[in-house]
Amino acid sequence: MSSQHDTKGSAEVVDIARLLKKPTQRKVLQPLEFRASASLLSIRQKLVCIATVGVDDIDRIAKEFPNDVTTEVNALLRRLLNKEFGSLRVYKHRRVFTVGHHCQESMMAGLLRVQYHANQFDTRAVKPGVLREGVGLQITWGVGDTVPEAEKERSKRRALKLP
């Protein structure tokens, strides 16, 4: 038996189905209005630290060998970066890759792992003469708050490395 008192009440019955079928005015947006009102949902905007990573001899490889060899070498580096950081954090920027991360220490640890695995890479897997024998895939990386700052740091490291 219910715990409520036996009181009579009344309520107005509303036909919801009729309200849902009622025609309403909708604003039709033009393509330019879509762009102006949309916000980009990207993980890239939330990453604080930026690194640039590139193959040391990519300019020489691009001059001496066909375009598909350069693409293959870049694909090797991209696979290593994607495996370490995930594909959503790795972007191509000119002849280098940019990587974003939340923590600078974690990013640098990941870059050192990528550099280690790149040095262990078997140079015979690529066309002979492309990579120097016995040294693997030589990469240089730089870290900064922006892409130009990271690229400047990478350029400094590369200048110290090259004879």
Tens digit of each residue's pLDDT (9 = 90 or more) over 75-123:
999 999 999 999 888 999 888 999 999 889 999 999 999 999 998 887 7
Q: How many whole angstroms separate alpha carbon 90 and alpha carbon 81?
A: 7
Q: How many whole angstroms separate alpha carbon 141 and alpha carbon 159?
A: 12
Q: Which domain holds residue 121?
A: 44-161
* Number of helices and strands in the chain (H, E): 6, 4
Output the domain CATH number for residue 86. 3.30.70.270
Looking at the 3D structure of the chain, how many domains does it have?
A: 1
Measured in degrees and rounded to the nearest 5, phi and psi for residue 4 equal -85, 155
- What is the tens place of the pLDDT at every residue in 4-42? 556 667 777 777 766 666 666 666 656 665 556 666 566
With respect to residue 8, please indicate whether it lies within any of the assigned structural domains: no
